[in-house]
Amino acid sequence: MAQSKMFLVSENAVWRNDNMSILKVEKVTKRFGGLVAVDDVTMEIRQGEILGLIGPNGAGKTTLTNVISGLHTVSEGRIFFDGTDITFLPTHKRCHLGIARTFQIARPLKNLTVAENVMVGGLFGNGEKLKDGRKSAIKLCETIGLAKPNEVLDKITVLDIKKIEIARAMATKPKLLFLDEVMSGLNMDETREMIDTVRKIRDTGVTICIIEHVMSVIREITERVIVLDRGAIIAEGPYSEVSQQHNVITAYLGEDA
């Protein structure tokens, strides 16, 4: 009896060891009518890494994010997160499990204040009580550098809106965070600040998948990138290697290059 129990434990440990990935996407295809937005994608995101998801416009990066976070259902394929099959789980449950995201075009909740925006994440994504939610939201605002948590969203800078996006996602206490073009529209200093923020988040143990057009950012902070083109993965590996590959360059610059 004791032996078999030990056996189970050890097997479990082996499974964990073997499975360093937090997210597994298996042969996922997403079609909109005749258009194939994501084409037979198989990929993994490893625990604790900063992964870059890159590719030319319309490559299917955001669609893939939407499929993983549950805004779109897959046409084919399976998705596993942290050992559970989430293929058919509704969006809010995926959030409860620990998948959070920001939006490419920032979507602040305009009828709420800065801190209240962040609170939504804590209250519903992390199941906090109202009082705790308010406290932790204000704390998060401080950490990320949102100076006026009680401000309404009428007059607020682009940088602050992006910070709200990240703080709101972080408030759900995610294990895996998708950052969809959080650097676009920022100036040099702001980009610097944002890169620091992303690193700090990773240091708290959150796995990050970053979608970005600014290649200098990708080069600087990612350990690994996946390149999408027309919905399919065309390259995978460290940025320095991938950026030299012929097919990646063609995808970005066209056949003539």
Partner 1 sequence: MKIIKPILLLIVLAAAVMLPLLTEAYFISVAITILTFMTLALSWDMMLRTGQLSFGTAGFFGLGGYAGIIAAADLGVDPITGIIIGGLVAGVVSLVLGMAILRLRGLYFAITTMALASVFMVIIRNLHKISGGPSGKVVLSTLFNYDSNKVYWFMLGVALITIVISEVFQRTRIHFAIDSIRADETVAKSHGVNIYKYLIFVFVVTSVIQGVVGATYALQYGFVFPESSFSAHYLLLPIAMALVGGIYSTIGSVIGAIILGLSSEYLKLIMPYGHLIIYGVIIVVVVLFLPNGVYGAIKDVLGFRKRRLEER
Partner 2 sequence: MEKISFLRKHRGILILVAILVVVAIWRPLAAIYGVQRGSLYALIGLPLALTLGVVGIMNLAHGDLLSLGTYIVYLFAVNTGMDPLVSIIPVFFLLFILGVVIYKLTVTRVLKAGHLNQLLLTFGISMIVLELMKVIWTTRPRSVYVDYSSSSTTIAGVRFGTYELLYVVLAFAVLIALQLFLKKTRLGQATFAVGQNPRGAKIVGINTDFVYLFVFGLSVAILGIAAGVMVPRFAIFPSVGAAFTMKSFSLVAMAGLGNLTGILISGIVLGVGEAIVQSIPGYAGWSDIVFFGVLIAVIMIRSLRRQSL
Angle between helices 158-170 and 188-203 (to 10 degrees): 10
Instruction: Please report how close the Cβ of residue 111 comes to partner 2 at its closest, in angstroms.
Output: 13
Q: Does 60 bind partner 2 (CB under 8 A)?
A: no
Which residues are near partner 1 by CB under 8 A? 69-71, 90-92, 95-96, 100-101, 103, 107, 109-112, 116, 119-121, 123-126, 130, 133, 168-169, 171-172
Q: Does 120 bind partner 2 (CB under 8 A)?
A: no
Q: Does 73 bind partner 2 (CB under 8 A)?
A: yes
Measured CA distances, 125 to 26, 42, 105, 214 (Å): 26, 27, 21, 30
Which runs of E-coded beta strand occur in the chain? 21-32, 35-46, 50-54, 76-81, 84-85, 99-101, 176-180, 207-211, 224-229, 232-237
- Which region holds residue 24: left if phi is over 0, alpha if psi is between -120 and 50, else beta? beta
Q: Does 91 bind partner 2 (CB under 8 A)?
A: yes
Q: Which does 73 bind (CB under 5 to 8 A by kind): partner 2, partner 1, none?
A: partner 2
Q: Does 71 bind partner 2 (CB under 8 A)?
A: yes
Binding mask 13-52 for partner 2 (x = CB under 8 A): ----------------------------------------
